[in-house]
């Protein structure tokens, strides 16, 4: 099973970005998803998770109010929206399948660059 | 929020040697809900260990996870050239999951 993410994005400060994540199989309804980001040269930062079957989501405190995780079961796709972007949000954004708390597999990553 | 502190920040070793990587939690992690990941430059993180000591699929047995409470360890026996990478621990004992800051394992 692979997770395929949408392509790189360049955004201006204050804008919003949406990254999509689609499993390569049709077992989407059984998936919970996590989102993680990694700023250039930095470590992994937990963003949140969402369950596909009922849409329950949990967000990192640092991003509360700016991030929204959703799923579209008809499109078998998960989405991460981040609002009010600043240069500090420049990072590679990863989706991953959440299995019992651990993450496997991971998507290929989506580079989001915030620049004026 | 559980803070995970990994040590050392950088570990310099030679192929064939053994490595011991530490992950210390700011509070006790119940039910051993801790995972380890490997990330090579330019690559996606890869799950190595979950539930403290269970190896993920296709992970060689030279990788061993152990620990409990607040102290956890990833041991790598007989380092291979492909093992030099950055390693992260992650806890999922609370609803707010967190990662450690990473340990870089470099060739000496």
Instruction: Give me the phi and psi of B38, to 5 degrees please.
Output: -115, 135
pLDDT reported for residue A28: 59
Contacts of B92 in chain A (CB under 8 A): 100-102
Query: What are the contacts of B31-35 at 24+ separation with CB within 8 A?
Result: B31/B93, B32/B67, B32/B68, B33/A101, B33/B91, B33/B92, B33/B93, B34/B65, B34/B67, B34/B72, B34/B89, B34/B90, B34/B91, B34/B92, B34/B93, B35/A101, B35/A102, B35/A103, B35/B89, B35/B90, B35/B91, B35/B92
Q: Poorest-confidence range of A55-59, A78-82, B15-19, B40-44?
A: A55-59
Instruction: Report whether pLDDT(B43) > 70.
Output: yes
Residue A52 in this model has a pLDDT that exceeds 90: no
Grade residue A27 by pLDDT with cuts at 50, 70 and 90.
low
User: What is the C-alpha to C-alpha distance for residues A56 and A51, in angstroms, rounded to an integer?
Assistant: 5
**A103 to chain B: closest CA residue:** B47
Q: How far is A109 from chain B (nearest CA, A)?
A: 7
Selection from A84, A85, A70 nearest residue A35 by Cα: A70
Mean pLDDT of chain B: 96
Confidence of residue B21 (pLDDT cuts 50, 70, 90): very high
Q: What is the pLDDT of residues B50-103, one digit of tens each?
A: 999 999 999 999 999 999 999 999 999 999 999 999 999 999 999 899 999 999
Chain A: residues touching B (Cβ < 8 Å): 34, 36, 43-46, 49, 58, 60-61, 94, 99-109
CA distance A71 to chain B (A): 19
Question: Is B65 an interface residue toward A (CB < 8 Å)?
Answer: no
Question: What 3-state DSSP class applies to B70?
Answer: strand
Give which of B4, B29, B34, B44 to mutate to test A binding, by max A Cβ within 10 Å: B44
Asked if the C-beta of B92 comes within 8 angstroms of chain A's C-beta atoms, the answer is yes
More confident residue, A52 or A100: A100
Task: Reply yes or no on whether the pLDDT at B36 is more than 80.
Answer: yes
């Amino acid at each position: 099973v692979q997770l395929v993410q949408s392509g790189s994005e360049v955004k201006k400060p204050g804008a919003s970005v949406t990254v999509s994540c689609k499993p390569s199989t049709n077992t989407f309804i059984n998936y919970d998803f996590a989102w993680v980001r990694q700023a250039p040269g930095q470590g992994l930062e937990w963003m949140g998770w969402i369950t596909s079957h009922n849409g329950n989501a949990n967000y990192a405190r640092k991003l509360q109010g700016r991030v929204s995780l959703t799923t579209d079961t008809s499109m078998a796709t998960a989405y991460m929206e981040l609002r009010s972007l600043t240069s500090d949000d420049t990072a590679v954004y990863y989706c991953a399948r959440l299995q019992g708390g651990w993450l496997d597999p991971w998507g290929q990553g989506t580079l989001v660059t915030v620049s004026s | 929020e559980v803070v995970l502190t990994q040590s050392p920040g950088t570990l310099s070793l030679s192929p064939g040697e053994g490595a011991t990587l530490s992950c210390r939690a700011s509070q006790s992690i119940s039910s051993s809900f801790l995972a380890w990941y490997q990330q090579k430059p330019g690559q996606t993180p890869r799950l190595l260990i979950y539930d403290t000591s269970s190896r993920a699929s296709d992970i060689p047995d030279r990788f061993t996870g152990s620990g409990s409470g607040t102290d956890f360890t990833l041991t790598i026996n007989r380092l291979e050239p492909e093992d030099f990478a950055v390693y992260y621990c992650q806890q999922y004992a609370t609803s707010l999951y967190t990662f450690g800051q990473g340990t870089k394992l470099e060739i000496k």
